[in-house]
Amino acid sequence: MDAANIFAIVSHGRVIIEGTVENHEAKQRAEAISRQANGITAHDANLAVRRSQ
């Protein structure tokens, strides 16, 4: 997975991830990884799957 286009913000136990990914599998993987950190109380994912050309 290319994480170059994924950005994470963490504040007071809340994680927000934003960006674009190659496919639905990469989106699910990024969301799962971002939930693994200790102390997370809230999680928002604003990831978009890039369109194939």
Query: Could you read off the pLDDT of 19-53 as tens digits, one per residue?
Result: 999 999 999 999 999 888 888 999 999 999 988 76
Residues facing 19 on adjacent strands: 6, 47
> What are the residue boundaries of the structural domains of the chain, listed by start?
3-49
* Per-residue b or e along 37-53, where b marks 16 or more CB atoms closer than 10 Å to that residue's CB: eeeeeeeebebeeeeee
Q: Check residue 53 and give its pLDDT.
A: 61
pTM recorded for the entire structure: 0.78
22-29 contacts at long range (C-beta below 8 A, 24 or more positions apart): 22/49, 22/50, 23/49, 24/49, 26/1, 26/2, 29/1
Q: Looking at per-residue confidence, does 1 or 19 come out higher?
A: 19
Q: At residue 12, does pLDDT exceed 70?
A: yes
Residue 26, SS3 per DSSP: helix
